[in-house]
C-alpha cells in the first residue's frame, strides 16, 4: 500500500499548493491513503469545518491537528461528529474528538492513524508514550489486523520524535513528525521495518519564519514586547510531505521518500 503524509498546512498559501498539486500527485504516485496535518490551515491558527471539508473533497482521507487544535472555536462541535479529523490522543479524557481512527482504504484494506503531541517545550499533556502504547494494544499490524498504521508525532524536540519512533519500531508502518515546519533529511526505514522522518515540513511559503510573515516574527525576537499578531506569509507555497510504500503482508515499510513540490525548495519526488 502507498501512504502519503503532507506536513502542516500554513494559511492560504499552504492550502492553495495542496489543492493545486494534489491531482498531479495522485496521478503520478497513486497513493492509496492520504493524511494532511491541518492545524495551521486557518490563517495560521487551527482549522475550520469548511477547510476540512475542502480537504476531504479533494481526496484527503484524514486531517490531523496539534497544539493549535482549538484556535478556531467552531471546530469544537465539528470534531465530535467528524471521525476523519484527529487531535492528539494524549489530551486529557473528556477532550472533544478523538486521537486515533481506523479508516477504509482501497481493496478492503484498513489504515489506522494515531496522533500524539510531545511534551518537551510543549504543553504539559499526558505522556505520549503511554498514549501510543494504549492505542497500539488495541491494534494489530498485518496478519489480519489493520494493513497500515501511521503515527503523527506533533512535537518540538527531534529527540522525542526519534524516541517515539524507536519505541514503536516494528509495530507501525510510519512515524512522521510535524510542528517544526522544516523538512528533515533523515527519511529512512528503521531496522524493524518502520519508516521514519523527523519532520515532514510544512505546506506553505518558505520565504517566511516557519510560515509566518517575517517582519512581525523578527520583531518578537528582537524587541521582546508585544507587537503585530503573527500571520501567514502569502507568497508561493511549497508542498512538503513523505511517501511510504508498505508490504501487503506485514504492513511494514519497504520504501520511503520525501516529497517537495513548488515554491522555494528544491523539488523532490520519491523514487
What is the rounded CA–CA span in Å between residue 214 and residue 212? 6
Whether residue 241 contacts residue 7, with contact meaning beta carbons closer than 8 Å, is answered with yes
Q: Is 154 a catalytic residue?
A: no
Q: d(Cα 111, Cα 11) in Å, to the nearest integer? A: 28
**Which cell is 258 given?**
520525501
How far is it between the farthest Cα atoms of the chain? Answer: 58
Closest alpha carbon to 7 in 262, 251, 258: 258
Cα–Cα distance measured from residue 35 to residue 149, given in angstroms and rounded to the nearest whole number: 12
Which position has the grid cell 510504500? 245
Catalytic residue among 43, 68, 154, 179: 68
Antiparallel, parallel or unpaired: β 109-117 and 100-105:
antiparallel
At 57, list the grid cell.
473533497
- 214's enclosing H/E stretch is helix 214-223
Q: Which residues are catalytic?
A: 68
Amino acid at each position: 500500500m502507498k501512504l502519503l503524509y503532507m506536513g502542516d498546512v500554513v494559511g492560504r498559501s499552504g492550502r492553495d499548493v495542496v489543492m493545486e498539486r494534489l491531482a498531479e500527485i495522485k496521478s503520478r504516485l497513486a497513493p492509496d491513503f492520504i493524511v494532511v496535518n491541518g492545524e495551521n490551515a486557518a490563517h495560521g491558527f487551527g482549522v475550520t469545518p469548511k477547510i476540512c471539508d475542502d480537504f476531504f473533497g479533494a481526496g484527503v482521507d484524514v486531517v490531523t491537528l496539534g497544539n493549535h487544535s482549538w484556535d478556531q472555536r467552531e471546530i469544537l462541535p465539528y470534531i465530535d461528529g467528524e471521525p476523519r479529523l484527529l487531535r492528539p490522543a494524549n489530551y486529557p479524557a473528556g477532550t472533544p474528538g478523538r486521537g486515533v481512527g481506523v479508516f477504509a482504504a482501497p481493496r478492503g484494506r484498513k489504515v489506522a492513524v494515531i496522533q500524539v503531541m510531545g511534551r518537551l517545550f510543549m504543553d504539559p499533556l499526558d505522556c505520549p508514550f503511554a498514549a501510543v502504547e494504549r492505542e497500539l494494544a488495541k491494534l494489530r499490524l498485518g496478519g489480519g489486523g489493520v494493513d497500515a498504521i501511521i503515527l503523527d508525532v506533533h512535537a518540538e524536540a527531534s529527540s522525542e520524535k526519534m524516541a517515539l519512533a524507536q519505541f514503536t519500531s516494528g509495530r507501525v508502518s510510519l512515524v512522521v513528525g510535524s510542528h517544526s515546519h522544516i523538512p528533515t533529511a533523515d527519511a529512512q526505514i528503521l531496522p524493524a521495518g518502520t519508516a521514519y522522518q523527523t519532520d515532514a515540513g510544512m505546506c506553505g511559503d518558505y520565504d517566511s519564519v516557519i510560515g509566518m510573515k517575517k517582519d512581525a516574527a523578527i520583531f518578537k525576537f528582537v524587541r521582546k514586547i508585544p507587537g503585530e499578531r503573527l500571520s501567514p506569509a502569502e507568497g508561493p507555497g511549497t508542498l512538503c510531505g513523505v511517501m511510504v510504500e508498505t508490504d501487503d503482508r506485514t504492513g511494514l515499510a519497504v520504501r520511503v521518500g520525501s516529497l517537495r513540490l513548488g515554491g522555494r525548495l528544491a523539488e523532490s519526488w520519491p523514487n
